[in-house]
Structures are given as C-alpha cells and as structure tokens.
C-alpha cells in the first residue's frame, strides 16, 4: 500500500536557491528522506541551453543529501523535473512531494464522494467516518529504458514511455487509469552530439533541428502516456506530431539535455492511504479557457460557485499544473494572432506568458506551473490542467 503524501510549494528566490526547502525540512514540515519528487519552474529561457534547470537541480539535490541520510547516488534517483521559463507573471517555484506517516491530525476530513471523479464540497467534510476510505493523492515514479536519439519521435519511444508509466502507476498503487490525473515526464531532446552519435551508429533522427526536437520529444512522450492509460491505441509512426487529435488529457511532458531516459511521475487518487491532499484534472480548450482551470479544481474536490473568484479557494489550492500550445491555425476564438509568425520572440514564450496570466488570475497566485510545447497533450491550442487541493481541517 502506498503511503500518504505531503505536498508543499516553495518559492525560488534566485536561480540556484533551495533555502525554502531547507526551511521546510528544518521546521519539520518535510523529512528530507521522505521526499520522492520535485516539479518546478526556473527562470531560464526554456530552451535547449537552459542552464537554470541544472543549477536548480543541483541546489535541491544538495539540500536533500545534506539534510537526510540518503547518499548522493540515492538522491540522484529522485525525479526532479524542472521546466524552464517563467515568462510574464509566472514566478519561479517548486512543488515538493514527500511521503508522510499517517496521523489523525494530518488526515483530511472525510467527504461523501462516491468515486474519484466526483466533486466534493469542503463544507461537507465534517463527517466522523473513516478518513482513509476517501480518495487521496498518491504519487509513483519510474524511469524508462534508455532513450536513444533515434528513438525520439518514433514508436520505440512511445513503447518505452508507456512501460514506465505503467510501472509508475503500480508504484502509486493505482490500478484504474481513470484514477490518474497527472503524468509529468522529463525526456531527452536532441543535441548536436547525440545526433552525431546516431549517425555514427548508422541511424537517422526525426529532426536535426535541436530546438524542434524539444517539441518532438514532448509530443512522443505524451503519446506514450496516452497509450499506457488506454486513451489511444498505438499510433502509426507517421501520426507523430502530425495528427493532433491523438492526445492525452493528463500528460505534461518536458524535455532537456540532462538525462538519457524518461523520468515519469504519476499522480492520482487512491482510497485507503489517508492524507489530506487530492488531485483532479480537466483540459483548457484554448489559451483563454479559464473555465478549464476551474473545472480541474472542482474535479480535485472543491465546491465552487457558478462564477468563482480566487477568494473562493480559501487557500486550499496547493498548485495548478498546465501545458499550453499555440494553436496550429494561428487563431484564438476566431481571431488571428501572430505568435507562429513572430521572428523576434518565439511562440513558446508568448503562449506561456499568456496562459500563465490566465492561470494566475484564476488562482490569485503567480506561482503556477505552466509549461509549453504541448503537442499531443490536450486539444490543439489548449492543454491539460491538473490541480492539487488540501482537504484537511483548517487550523
């Protein structure tokens, strides 16, 4: 049986800052040896050469080694996924996941939910029923087989990612794919060196444009997630990055130069583990779809009015996690935009700033996880949204 999860969001005060993680551990809010995953945003360019991801990764791992009993080699196996680029109002931050020993004071008040998909009113969480019977957040992690440069953009990568997703589901104690609400991956992209390596071994690669390979790696990983969860059948290789109707509603895929296989973090709800957190998801249909974010928060368990306001959240949203993509037709709600034609500012940065503003307006909090390059992740021009909420009793 998986253990209950503790989740905390911390700011990054500068590019290599992990002081707030140190503070949480020192205060006893988290145990360094119980940290199982970190998902965060750094302030770099989000591109192939975004060194801020490496700096943040090093800072967080050094804290976990210094504050715990695990060796550097053991800490190196913890999935720490950094998405570069905090364009617009998005604030650099990290969401830290740790296991927590079951405790009556930490357990969430029970809900009347009949299934994980039900929405649950916090106002109705006053029953004295056993809290462990309620669906609560569980997190699992896996690493795929090594991803070769020639795998990226091809069915070999889909197969390897799908296998890792299934392994991470098992680690989280999730048997029903409908209980999965968020799958975060980090996969390798192509560099000049890895392209040359493939050629030396007699192989071709999907693209020799290293920047484009970021989109390809993300999109192929998303198809692997969709296959693992039964959202789609195994696609033909020709459909990769071309048939945007093939997608996952829970995939959030990122890529970088700092690894050679897929890191996979699966987050969903499991009954019987206790804890105070719950996760839900929805999709944004386009870049302005605030209702998609509100739907994810409702799906996580908060009862909201028809026209909600950030004040209605009562500080219970730990974080929201979004993927975004400029629509392939260059339109939003019937109006033309110039993102895909702009030679001065890449569309990655423009759409990220746009959706980050929408998400921050919904939550009233600029520390939102918004990641770009959402091929095969939600509908074209939109993207998946996951929300983690705290259903515990208020102090």
- List residues with catalytic annotation: 186, 254
Place of tokens 């998909």: 117
Helix axis angle, 155-172 to 210-228, nearest 10° = 50
Non-local CB neighbours of 256 within 8 Å, separated by 6+ positions: 50, 53, 82, 84, 186, 188, 189
Could you give the CA distance from residue 327 to residue 172 in angstroms, rounded to a whole number?
34
Nearest to 386 by CA among 283, 264, 271: 283
Within 10 angstroms of residue 336's Cβ, the number of other Cβ atoms is 9
Question: Is residue 207 within 8 Å of residue 178, measured between CB atoms?
Answer: no
Q: What are the CA-CA distances from residue 390 to residues 74, 122, 232, 254, 276 (Å)?
A: 29, 10, 32, 26, 6
Within 10 angstroms of residue 196's Cβ, the number of other Cβ atoms is 13
Question: Is residue 346 within 8 Å of residue 338, measured between CB atoms?
Answer: no
Q: What are the CA-CA distances from residue 56 to residues 38, 52, 62, 177 (Å)?
A: 11, 6, 10, 32
CA angle 153, 157, 158 (to 5 degrees): 95
Helix axis angle, 347-363 to 290-300, nearest 10° = 50
Structure token digits, residue 172:
């989280």
Non-local CB neighbours of 230 within 8 Å, separated by 6+ positions: 177
Question: Is residue 229 within 8 Å of residue 163, measured between CB atoms?
Answer: no
| Helix H or strand E segment including 58 | helix 52-67
Could you give the CA distance from residue 101 to residue 104 in angstroms, rounded to a whole number?
10
Helix axis angle, 52-67 to 19-26, nearest 10° = 20
């Amino acid at each position: 049986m998986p253990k209950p999860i503790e989740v905390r969001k911390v700011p990054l005060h500068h590019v290599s800052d992990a002081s707030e993680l140190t503070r949480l551990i020192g205060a006893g809010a988290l145990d360094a040896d119980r940290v199982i995953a970190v998902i965060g945003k750094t302030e770099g360019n989000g591109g192939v050469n975004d060194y801020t991801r490496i700096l943040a990764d090093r800072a967080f791992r050094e804290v976990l080694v210094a504050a715990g009993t695990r060796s550097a080699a053991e800490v190196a196996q913890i999935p720490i996924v950094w998405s570069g680029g905090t364009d617009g109002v998005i604030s650099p931050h990290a969401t830290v996941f740790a296991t927590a020993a079951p405790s009556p004071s930490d357990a969430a008040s029970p809900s009347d939910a009949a299934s994980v998909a039900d929405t649950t009113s916090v106002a109705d969480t006053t029953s004295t029923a056993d809290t462990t019977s309620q669906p609560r957040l569980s997190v699992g992690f896996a690493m795929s087989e090594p991803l070769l440069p020639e795998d990226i953009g091809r069915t070999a990568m889909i197969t390897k990612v799908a296998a890792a997703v299934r392994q991470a589901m098992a680690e989280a104690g999730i048997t029903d794919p409908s209980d999965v609400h968020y799958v975060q991956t980090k996969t390798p992209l192509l560099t000049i060196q890895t392209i040359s390596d493939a050629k030396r071994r007699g192989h071709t690669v999907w693209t020799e444009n290293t920047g484009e390979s970021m989109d390809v790696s993300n999109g192929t990983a998303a198809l692997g997630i969709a296959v693992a969860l039964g959202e789609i059948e195994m696609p033909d290789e020709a459909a990769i990055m071309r048939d945007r109707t093939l997608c996952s509603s829970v995939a959030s895929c990122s890529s970088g130069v700092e690894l050679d296989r897929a890191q996979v973090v699966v987050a969903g709800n499991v009954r019987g583990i206790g804890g105070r957190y719950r996760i839900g998801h929805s999709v944004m249909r386009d870049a302005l779809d605030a209702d998609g974010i509100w739907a994810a928060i409702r799906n996580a368990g908060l009862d909201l009015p028809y026209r909600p306001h950030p004040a209605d959240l009562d500080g219970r949203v730990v974080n929201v996690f979004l993927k975004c993509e400029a629509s392939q037709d260059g339109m939003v709600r019937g109006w033309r935009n110039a993102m895909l034609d702009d030679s001065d500012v890449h569309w990655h940065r423009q759409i990220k700033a746009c959706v980050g503003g929408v998400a921050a307006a919904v939550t009233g909090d600029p520390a939102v996880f918004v990641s770009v390059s959402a091929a095969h992740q939600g509908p074209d021009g939109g993207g998946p949204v996951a929300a983690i909420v705290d259903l515990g009793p208020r102090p």
